[in-house]
Amino acid sequence: MPPRPKPGSKTHRDSLRTELLAVGAPIATIAAEMRTRFGCRPREAWRHAHGWTLQEAADRLNNAVGAAGPATDASLLGKWEKWPATAGRRVTLRVLTVLAELYGASLEDLLDLEDRRALPESDLRVLRHQAAGDPATAVAAPLPPVPDVPLTGAELIHTAADESAQWTQWAEVPNCGPVSVEQYAADVRGFAADYLMAQDPLKVYGQTHRSLVRVWDLLYGHQNLEHRQKLFATAGYLAAMMAWMTSDLGHMRQAGTHIRAAMVAAEMAGDRGLQAWVAATRSKLAYWDGQYRAAIRHAEHGAAIQAPGTVTVLLHCQAADAWAEVGAHTEAKASFGRAEDAAGLDLANAFHDQVGGLFACTDGRLANYGAGICLRGDNPTRALAHADRGLAALQRQDVRPLGTIAQLHITRAGAHLLADEPEGVLDALAPVLALPAEHRTAPVRRRLRDLARDAAGSPMGNSAAGRRLQAVVETAVREAKLALCLTGPDSDWISNYD
């Protein structure tokens, strides 16, 4: 026989609530019964009367206040319910007002004698002032920041000191500490590496999103200044990663929203490295949106920051790539030369990027840009040399970015096409087609279609190899869209983007 539930357990509370609702009892009556039968404090009794858990009530409270106040979690709400016990935390009148609206109660309903004994005189004066007004609007009316009845003399002095003491109590209890701050920073580094190799990029996308939301929630609260600055840096890297991943999935407008959030976070953090990576991400978004001059402008702005690590190498590569796309081969060559120079200068610091992974420009990534620039400069021999060097470098890395590897193989195929070697084109593409469809992100699909378009306008176009190339590219793109769930209202736009 199963053990009987303890009096006051959730089972008993739910049973009581169900029974009272069945006979038409109002919520106030249910709350009163919760207090009488189970000894609940007033705020806890009203929550139980609605049948809400601490987290459910906290979520409703957060939705009610929106961005106007700090986020509340189940732990904090529980402490507000216990106050003025030692394990509790003093609840403000503003919070009580929102809770009263949520529960359909009045301020008086949520306070008992113990609460009133512990409340500062300033709060009691506000309550008396409201009670003297219209009862029908007492709860809904916003609480005045200062009582209408002015304080004077010793009462004013004591009240002002009480308010400073209350603020001190709030300020000394941050919503996170150094271990939490470091954990979120470590999560960023993990996601940046995982995304490059993940069998399921959408899974990493979801993990990054959840971490970003948690960091935003912390920033709605308060921390000491050092931890707050670090949290802004973490939020900035996470938001920039979200922008990068979102553009890889083909949603450029939403990626732009994420990067604007990253820009604000970078400014608040005052982190030069983050500011440079935000510029690199903006350059990437502009490039894949066809705004090549904007891509150059963002890249050159980021390079001028002279941030530590390999971000400056990437920024010069991005500028070179965009110059090559508009046919300015002299400028492209000069920018890529600056990237190679920066890589040589940073050789000693190449493995000291703050985040790494997605936010690092390794030798393989540098070679990928060089291969593409040489290919558009009609130099297939140098393009192949860069591509082969890049693939060899990536094989030596612990983190092997599958997207970069795919692009290097596509560049090799383009070099064979330029050299009028049709069979070499298909052979070079074999590793790309062997990749899981999930890794054929928007840049990979775009490069595949560019290759097929160039092949169609070449002597290879009407050959058996040319027709086969068109078929395999169409299949590869279709499989990738299905694997990445790129369907729905944006699917037509995504097709155009590809």
Q: Which residues contact 311 (CB under 8 A, 6 or more apart)?
A: 273, 276, 277, 280, 302, 353, 359, 361
Q: What is the CA radius of gyration of the chain?
A: 31
| pTM of this structure | 0.66
Does residue 42 carry a pLDDT above 80?
yes
**Domain assignments of the chain as residue spans, ordered by start:** 10-119, 180-497
The per-residue pLDDT for range 184-233, each reduced to its tens digit, is: 999 999 999 988 887 678 889 999 999 998 899 888 877 888 999 999 99
Q: Which residues pair with 356 in a beta bridge?
A: 359
Instruction: Give the residue, 391 or 127, on which the prediction is more confident.
Output: 391
Using the structure block, give the residue that is written with the tokens 């904007």.
294
| Mean pLDDT to the nearest integer, 337-354 | 76
First to last CA, the chain: 64
Measure the CA–CA gap between 297 and 319, rounded to whole angstroms: 8
| Mean pLDDT value of segment 171-186 | 83
Residue 142, pLDDT > 50, answer: no
Sign of the four-CA dihedral 198, 199, 202, 204: negative
Select from 90, 114, 109, 89 the least CA-distant residue to 99: 109
H helices present in 172-224, as ranges: 178-197, 201-220
493 pLDDT band, cuts 50/70/90, is very low
Residue showing tokens 């509790």: 88
Read off the pLDDT of residues 429-482 as tens digits, 9 standing for 90 and up.
Answer: 888 888 777 777 778 888 888 888 887 887 777 778 778 877 877 887 777 766
Token output for 393: 């470098």
Q: Which of 386, 255, 243 is nearest to 321 (CA)?
A: 386
CB atoms within 10 A of CB 392: 12
Q: What are phi and psi of 356, to 5 degrees?
A: 80, -170
Tally Cβ neighbours within 10 Å of residue 165.
11
- The candidate with the shortest Cα–Cα distance to 265, out of 244, 242, 245, 240, is 240
The rounded mean pLDDT for the chain is 82
pLDDT of residue 492: 34
Q: Kindly report, residue by residue over 60-98, the tens digit of the pLDDT.
A: 888 877 655 567 888 888 889 998 887 788 888 888 888
381 burial (CB, 10 Å; 0-12 / 13-18 / 19+) is exposed
- Mean pLDDT of the region 110-127: 83
How confident is residue 6, by pLDDT bands cut at 50, 70 and 90?
very low
Are the C-beta atoms of 367 and 387 separated by less than 8 Å? yes
Burial class (CB in 10 A: 0-12, 13-18, 19+), 162: middle
Q: Does residue 137 register a pLDDT over 60?
A: no
List Cβ neighbours of 62 (8 Å cut-off, separation of 6 or more): 71, 72
Tell me, what's the pLDDT at 132? 58
Q: Is the pLDDT of residue 143 over 70?
A: no
Q: Any idea which residue has 């860069």 for tokens?
A: 386
- Model pLDDT for residues 147-166, shown as the tens digit of each residue: 444 556 777 777 777 777 76
Residue 348 has pLDDT above 60, yes or no: no
Range 180-497 has CATH code 1.25.40.10: yes
What is the DSSP annotation of 299-327? Answer: HHHHHHT--STTHHHHHHHHHHHHHHHTT
